[in-house]
Amino acid sequence: RHQELVLGIRQILLLGVSASLLSATAFASEESTLPTITAHANQDATTSYTVKKSKNATKLNLALKDTPQSVSVITSQQIEDANLTSVEDVLNQTPGVSMQRYGAKGAVGNGGEYTFYYARGKQIINYQVDGVITSPSLDSKNGSVISSLDPAIYENVTVVKGATGLTNGAGYPSASVNFNRKHANSTEPKGEIKVSAGSWNTYRTQIDVQDKLNQSGSVRGRAVAVYGQGDSWQDWGDNRSATLYGIVDADLSDQTTVSVGGMLSRNKITGQGVHGLDMYGADGSINPHSPSFNSSARWAYSKVDTLNAFAQLKHQFDNGWNLQANYSYTEQDIKSLFGVIGVASANYTTNVASLAASQNNFNPKEHSLDVSASGPYRLFGREHELMLGASYQYVRNNNDNFNGCDSSTDTCTVNLSTWNGHVAVPSGATRVIGVNNKEYQQVGYYAATRLNPTDRLHVILGSRLSDYTYRSHVTTTTKTTDSRMSAYAKLTPYAGITYDISPNVTAYASYTNIFMPQTYRDYNYNLLDPQEGNNYEAGLKAAFLDNRINLSAAYFQSKMDNVANSGTVYGSNIPSSLTGVVSSTSSYYSAID
C-alpha cells in the first residue's frame, strides 16, 4: 500500500523536482519549524492486478468475462510490484507469451531489434497504444524498437490472444499487445518517488506526480520521469535509459474531455550487441568459455531515441453514445554499431573466430489515427450495443545499407585466447553501399454489434474492411530490389457468443480472422494471395469480488491458409512471358493451407 506525500506536489509538477528542492531548502533556512507533512494511504483502482472492463478486443467496453477471447492484463500495480522496467520484462511475464532474444537486452542489429515475441505458435506483430495501431505489421524485424520502452508510463498492458483482425487489420493469429497510457485523473496532489538498486551496479529512479492545474480541477496534469543505469553481467558493457512523459487532461464540459501529451526516451547500451558465440564451434568442439564471456567489441553500441506526441478526444452524448478520437505521432532515431565475434565461424580448437561488424541508422516516422463511436440501440424490444470506427496508419523508414567487415581491407578474424574486446573498427562497417527504404500504409473501417437476445445470451458480430500497402526499395553495390505487398478491400470477420451460466461464470466461443499480404510469387509471377489466419476458441470465464478476480480456461485452434510452400527453382522451365524477368536460379512458390 503506497503512502502519499502531500508537500507541494503542484510545485514539483509545474517547476520540476530540482526547483522544489531548492524552494524547500530556502524555506527551511527562514523558519525554525518545518511545515507539517501529511501521510495517508491511498487505495483505488490502480492498486488492482486486473481491470473491470476493456475495449482492447472489440472496442466494445466489456468485462473480461464477457469478452469471447483470451485476455491477459498486466497492470501498473503489477509492473511496480514485480519491478518490470521494460516492455520486454512485461511481455515476458504475460501468460501465453514467449520471447526469443538474440544478444543483449536492448541491442539493435541489421533490420532493427533482435527480440521477438510469440503466442499460439506465431510471432506477435500487432501493437497498439490507447487503441491506436502502432509499429507496422511486418514479419521479423520492422526497423522499429518497442522492447526497451519503459512501462512506467502505462496504466496497463493488455494482451488479446488469437486473431485480432477486427481492431488491427493485417497481422497473424497470435496476439495483439495494447499499451494503455496513464492519465491525470486526480484533482488532489499525488506523488511517488521510487529509488532502487541491484546487482551489477544497477540503479533506477522513478518519479510520478499529478495534480489539478486550475482551481476547479477541470484541467489536470501528470508527469513521469525515469532514469536507470547498470553494468552487464558479462565481462564488460553497460546501459543507460531515461524517459520523460507528460499529459494534460482537460474537461471542456461535463461530457467532453481532451488529452494531449508526449514522451521522450533514450536507451543506450555500450559494449554489448546482437548474437554471440555458438554452443559448438565449426570444429565440433564445445564452447569452453564462461557465461560471462563477452563476444562483443567494446566499441559496440545501440542507441534508441523515441519521440511520441499524442492527442485524444472523448465525448459522451445524452443518448448514451460515446465518441473517441486518437492521434499519435512517433519518431525514432535508432543507431547502432555492432561488432561481434564467432557469428560466421568459430573454431575452439585453433581459437580463431570471425569478426562481423556493421552500422545501422534507422529513422522510422509514424502517423496513426483512430476514430470510433459506440452506444446502445433498441431492436425487437431489447437493448443492444453498436460500435463503428475507422483507422489510418502510415510509416516511413529510411536506412542506409553498410558494407560490413571487408576481408580485402579489414582484419575479420580474432584470436579467442587473447580476446578482450579491444579491436579496431573495420573500415567496411561504416561504409555506405546503398539504401533500405520502406513505406507502409493501412486504412481500415470496422463495425461490431453486441446483440442481447436474452439477459444471459449475448452475440458479438463484426467485420473490418482494410486496404494495405507496403513498399521497399533496397540497393547495394551490385543490385536494386523493389518489393511490394498489397491487399485492397480485404474483409476480416469476427463472431463471438457468450452465455452466463451464473452471475459469476460465463461460457463463450468465438471465431476470429486476420490476414497478411506476402511478396512470394507463383509460377506465372503473380503475387500469392494474402495469408489467412483463423482462430477458433471456446472456454469458461469467471469473475468474483466485483470483477477484481478473473479466472479463465480456453481451448483454441489457430490455422494459417495461403502459406507459401518451399520455393521451386525454374531451371529450364521459364515461361516465355518471363524471359528476362526471372533467371534459371529464381524460385516460384505455391500456396498451401
pLDDT digits (tens, 9 = 90+) for 101-114: 988 988 988 888 88
| 477: pLDDT strictly greater than 60 | yes
The whole-number average pLDDT for the span 27-53 is 53
| 20: pLDDT strictly greater than 70 | no
Give CA torsion, residues 472, 476, 480, 485, to 10 deg: -20
Three-state DSSP class for residue 285? coil
Prediction pTM value: 0.88
| 42: pLDDT strictly greater than 60 | no
Residue 546 has a pLDDT of 85
| 28: pLDDT strictly greater than 90 | no
The answer to whether 138 touches 440, Cβ cutoff 8 Å, is yes
The whole-number average pLDDT for the span 504-529 is 94
Q: Which three cell numbers stand for residue 560?
A: 494459417
| 533: pLDDT strictly greater than 80 | yes
Mean model confidence pLDDT for the chain: 90
344 — pLDDT class (breaks 50, 70, 90): confident
Residue 142 has a pLDDT of 75
The answer to whether 530 touches 562, Cβ cutoff 8 Å, is yes
Cell match 564488460: residue?
Answer: 236
pLDDT digits (tens, 9 = 90+) for 380-419: 999 999 999 999 999 999 989 999 999 889 999 999 999 9
| 189: pLDDT strictly greater than 90 | yes
Cα→Cα distances 85→153, 318, 336, 513, 571, Å: 11, 42, 22, 33, 53
Please state, in angstroms and rounded to a whole number, the distance separating the CA atoms of residues 178 and 130. 7
Residue 15 has a pLDDT of 38
Size (the chain), residues: 593
Residue 46 has a pLDDT of 60
The answer to whether 249 touches 220, Cβ cutoff 8 Å, is yes
The whole-number average pLDDT for the span 24-37 is 40
Higher per-residue confidence, 371 vs 41: 371
